[in-house]
C-alpha cells in the first residue's frame, strides 16, 4: 500500500493519503500526551501495541454489526481505514466513577455506576475539551437528533460488548472514549479513531491494578508492561512476544510545563 502525503498529525497518530480518496493510512506513534499536552513522552512500543489492540477490538465490533473505519491492519504500526470527517465530539462512557467525573462532581472514586453514564466533550484542545450537553450538540448542529440517537445507541452496544470481552479475561472496563466520523464516500456515520489502553481505563478485576494510560498520567511506571498485559490477556500476543527490546526503557522525555 503506497503512502501518500500526510493529511493530519495528532498527538498519538498520523493520517496519510492513499491513491483511493476514500481510504487513508492511520499510523500509530509512540508519543503520549496528557493534561491537555502539558505532559509529553515517547513510550517505545506503545504504537505497535495500540495498533494491534485497536485492530482486535474494532474487528470484533464489526462482527457484531458495529460499523467502523477499519479496513485492515497493514503492518506493525499502520492500518488501512475508511476516510472520514471526524465529528468534533468525544463520547465518553463510564461504568465506574473516576478521573474527571470525580473531580468535577465530587462523586466518590470507585463508585459503580448502575446504568452506564454517557458524556459528551467538545474536541477542542485550546478549550481543554469542555463537557457539553445534548442541547449544545443539537443547537450548534454538530449532529441532528437522528444522528445523535444512533451514536448514543452505538456507544451503549460498544460498552456492553467491551465490558463482556474484558470481564472474560479478568479486566474491569472502567470507562472509555470513542470518536465517530462521517464517511467521505457516502456521509454515513461510523466508529473511527482507536480503542486501546490509551482511550480506555482498564483495571485488573481482582487487584484493581491500572492497565492503561493512567500509568503515564499518574507516573505509575511500567506502562508498556501494562499495555502488553492487555494484549496478552486478549490473546493478541504471546508472553514471549518482543514488542520492544527486553530491557525496560524509560520514557525518553517527560516535560511538565507550568501554567
Ligand atoms: P476523563 O474524562 O475521566 O479524563 O476520561 C474518561 C475516559 O475517556 C478515560 O478512559 C480517558 O482515557 C478517555 N479520554 C477522555 N479524553 C481523552 C483524550 O483526549 N484522549 C484520550 N486518549 N483519551 C481520553
- Which residue's CA is the closest to the ligand 1 atom numbered 22? 199
Measure Cα distances from 81 to 7, 16, 18, 69, 167 in Å: 13, 10, 10, 5, 28
CATH class for domain 85-204?
A: alpha beta
Q: Where are the domains of the chain?
A: 6-84+222-233, 85-204
User: What is the pLDDT at residue 241?
Assistant: 67
User: What is the pLDDT at residue 259?
Assistant: 44
Q: Is 213 in the pocket of ligand 1 (CB under 6 A)?
A: yes
Q: Under 8 Å CB-to-CB from 212, ≥6 apart: which residues? A: 197, 198, 200, 201, 202, 226, 227, 230
Q: Is 176 in the pocket of ligand 1 (CB under 6 A)?
A: yes
The pLDDT tens digits of the residues spanning 79-89 come to 999 999 999 99
User: What is the pLDDT at residue 248?
Assistant: 42
Say which CATH architecture domain 6-84+222-233 belongs to.
2-Layer Sandwich (3.30)
Residue 121 CA: nearest ligand 1 atom is 16
pTM: 0.93
Low-confidence spans in the chain with pLDDT less than 50: 245-250, 259
The pLDDT tens digits of the residues spanning 82-127 come to 999 999 999 999 999 999 999 999 999 999 999 999 999 999 999 9
Q: Is 200 in the pocket of ligand 1 (CB under 6 A)?
A: yes
Q: Is 198 in the pocket of ligand 1 (CB under 6 A)?
A: yes
- Which residue's CA is the closest to the ligand 1 atom numbered 21? 199
User: What is the pLDDT at residue 239?
Assistant: 79
Compute the chain's Rg from CA coordinates: 18
Could you give the 3-state DSSP secondary structure of residue 213? coil
Q: Is 69 in the pocket of ligand 1 (CB under 6 A)?
A: no
> Is the CA virtual torsion 214, 216, 221, 223 positive or negative?
positive
Q: Under 8 Å CB-to-CB from 26, ≥6 apart: which residues? A: 13, 14, 15, 69, 78, 79, 80, 81, 194
Amino acid at each position: 500500500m503506497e503512502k501518500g502525503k500526510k493529511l493530519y498529525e495528532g498527538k498519538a497518530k498520523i493520517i496519510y493519503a492513499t491513491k483511493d480518496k476514500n481510504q487513508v493510512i492511520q499510523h500509530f506513534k509512540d508519543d503520549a500526551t496528557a493534561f491537555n499536552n502539558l505532559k509529553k513522552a515517547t513510550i517505545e512500543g506503545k504504537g505497535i501495541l495500540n495498533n494491534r489492540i485497536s485492530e482486535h477490538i474494532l474487528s470484533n465490533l464489526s462482527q457484531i454489526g458495529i460499523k467502523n473505519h477499519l479496513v485492515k491492519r497493514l503492518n506493525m504500526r499502520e492500518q488501512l481505514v475508511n476516510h472520514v470527517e471526524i465529528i468534533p465530539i468525544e463520547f465518553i462512557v463510564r461504568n465506574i466513577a473516576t478521573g474527571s467525573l470525580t473531580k468535577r462532581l465530587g462523586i466518590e472514586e470507585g463508585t459503580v455506576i448502575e446504568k452506564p453514564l454517557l458524556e459528551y466533550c467538545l474536541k477542542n484542545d485550546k478549550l481543554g475539551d469542555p463537557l457539553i450537553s445534548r442541547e449544545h450538540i443539537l443547537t450548534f448542529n454538530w449532529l441532528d437528533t437522528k444522528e445523535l440517537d444512533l451514536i448514543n445507541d452505538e456507544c451503549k452496544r460498544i460498552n456492553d460488548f467491551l465490558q463482556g470481552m474484558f470481564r472474560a479475561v479478568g479486566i474491569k472496563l472502567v470507562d472509555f472514549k470513542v470518536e465517530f466520523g462521517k464517511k467521505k464516500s457516502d456521509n454515513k456515520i461510523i466508529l473511527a479513531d482507536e480503542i486501546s489502553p490509551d482511550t480506555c481505563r482498564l483495571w485488573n478485576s481482582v487487584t484493581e491494578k491500572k492497565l492503561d494510560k493512567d500509568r503515564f498520567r499518574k507516573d505509575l511506571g511500567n506502562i508498556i508492561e501494562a499495555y502488553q498485559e492487555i494484549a496478552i490477556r486478549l490473546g493478541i500476543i504471546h508472553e514471549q512476544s518482543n514488542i520492544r527490546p527486553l530491557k525496560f526503557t524509560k520514557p525518553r522525555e517527560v516535560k511538565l510545563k507550568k501554567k
